[in-house]
Amino acid sequence: MTAISGTGRIAAGVVALVAWAGLAIQWSASTDGAGGSPLQALWVMSRFFTIICNLVVAIVLTGIALGRRRFGAPTLIGGTALAIMLVGVVYTALLRGLHDLSATGKIANFLLHNATPVLVPLFWLLFVQKGRLGWRDPFRWTIFPLSYFGYALARAAVEHVYPYPFMDVSILGWPVTLTNAVVIAAGFLAVGFGFVWLDRRLS
């Protein structure tokens, strides 16, 4: 466990506020879209990796801001930064412009898809002790998106609603869907190794 400097804790608080704000605004917009049911809105939101990942960001960075040393572990922050970067890259490459958004939805979209995917890696770069990551870490980090993929497909099999077009088995079929999963996981793993390499260079 590693302590984060006072300036780092302030920065963590700012990033956490951005994530919490994005989640809260999205919840409000989703509640309107769910007929005014906050619980239904939460259930719908929990279908998306963007929401789950930003919730992880909000919790981890809040823990750092409050001085909880366990949240300052470089491996935890590195994995969180990598996961939220995946959110930004996939959104930019595959999902941007697919849906019409309300005014509040556009704000939430910017905070969750654009702001946190930049701020969290920047926080890792500036405030996290370097030289603490290992070559096994990328394999551990990849468990998170792969677990989500399994969860989303299992849920979609029951609800018949797929969160993202690139994992819509009903349209793409299993071979293409699984190929997409492998490609995304491989890219995630490769960037993870890049993280470890950069971490060791900066140390």
For the chain, what are the domain ranges?
6-202
Smallest Cα–Cα separation from 98: which of 161, 163, 40, 148?
Answer: 163
- Whole-number pLDDT of residue 94: 86
> How much is the average pLDDT of 74-88?
96
- Whole-number pLDDT of residue 98: 74
Is residue 96 very low, low, confident or very high in pLDDT (cuts 50, 70, 90)?
confident
CA distance 183 to 3: 36
Contact 79, 9 (CB under 8 A): no
- Whole-number pLDDT of residue 68: 92
- Whole-number pLDDT of residue 165: 92
Contacts of 128 (CB under 8 A, 6+ apart): 2, 4, 8, 72, 74, 77, 78
Residue 106 has pLDDT above 80, yes or no: yes
pLDDT digits (tens, 9 = 90+) for 155-181: 999 999 999 999 999 999 999 999 999
pTM, two decimal places: 0.93
- Whole-number pLDDT of residue 32: 82
CA distance 33 to 26: 10
Q: For CA atoms 117, 151, 190, 180, give the dihedral sign.
A: negative
